[in-house]
Amino acid sequence: MSSRVELINAGLLRSDGRRPYELRTISINFGAQGTADGSVTYSHGLTQVRVSVQGPHEAKPGTRRETFHDRATLNVEVQLAPFGVGERRRRGRGDKRLLELAATIKSTFEPVVQTHLYPRSTIDIFIHVLQLDGGLLPACINASTLALATAGIPLFDFVCAISGGVHGTQPLLDLTTVEENDVPSVVVGVMPRTGRATLVQMETRLHMDRFEDVFRVACDAGKVLWSEMRDALRERTGDLVDKLEAGPGMVAVKETEET
């Protein structure tokens, strides 16, 4: 390896002290964001994204031609905060890289969201990347899954995505920017119920013999992420249900129903 940074040291630890299959800390925050129907702030290590989902709602007048009479359309917009990236550069709406990212996220979710239930509607997914340290696409996808679920939009399944790579012959999981720059990487998005992959993306060349190892370990990691995401969602839903059932309002509702 020509890298100046030692990606894996003699003790099999990576540059940030993780073992090869170790994931970074995840934190999920369901705080409300304005008028969004579903919103989440998702941090994965030093990568932080904020997703708000609006809809399903009527298509805006200009985009009405793109709607379908038998299903909803997904509209994904990604914005990268200039201060959140290594290279400080303002990226406009037409930035090729961001458009491609949005298109990837859109095609990942199209088979997962039950769009046929909402004919002629639009579902907007707005993604703001606040900090970036590798794993941009997986973070966006995981956060979008959670935001769609909190917006009450029917999904066939979760999508849990994670990046993987190979250093020498050693598969790695959850790459940071430093690692992404040096090792061949692959992004895998799995639907944990069936174990199917909805997304496999490679932007670098990876040896065929190594691919299977990375793919398998990434699929397993997806299931670990799934249990985390599910627990967070359950906790939040349980909290809301408790408030709804046990709060002062419900007593009053019952009183009025009795009289």
**Dihedrals phi, psi of 241, to nearest 5 degrees:** -65, -40
Tell me the helices (H) and strands (E) count for the chain, helix number first.
Answer: 5, 9
Q: Which residues pair with 39 in a beta bridge?
A: 52
Which distant-in-sequence residues (6+ apart) come within 8 Å of 161 by Cβ? 108, 137, 138, 141, 142, 187, 188, 189, 190, 199, 222, 225
Nearer to other proteins, 80 or 233 (CB): 233
Among residues 131, 162, 160, 126, which one has the least CA distance to residue 145? 160
Nearer to other proteins, 145 or 185 (CB): 145
Per-residue binding string, other proteins, 28-47, x by CB under 8 A, is: x------x-xx---------
- Supply the minimum distance, in Å, between the C-beta of residue 255 and other proteins: 7
Around 36, how many Cα atoms within 13 Å sit in the side-chain half-sphere? 23
Q: Which two tokens stand for residue 234?
A: 């359950």
Interface with other proteins (CB under 8 A), residue from 2, 4, 10, 25: 25
Interface with other proteins (CB under 8 A), residue from 3, 57, 168, 196: 57
Which distant-in-sequence residues (6+ apart) come within 8 Å of 202 by Cβ? 184, 185, 186, 187
Verify binding: residue 169, other proteins, rule CB under 8 A.
Answer: no
Interface with other proteins (CB under 8 A), residue from 52, 56, 98, 137: 56
Question: Hey, which residues between 189 and 248 contact other proteins (CB under 8 A)?
Answer: 191-193, 195, 220-221, 223-224, 227-228, 230, 232-234, 237-238, 240-241, 243-245, 247-248
Question: Which residues of the chain form contacts with other proteins (CB under 8 A)?
Answer: 18-19, 21-28, 35, 37-38, 55-58, 61, 69, 72, 114, 118-121, 149-158, 191-193, 195, 220-221, 223-224, 227-228, 230, 232-234, 237-238, 240-241, 243-245, 247-253, 255-256
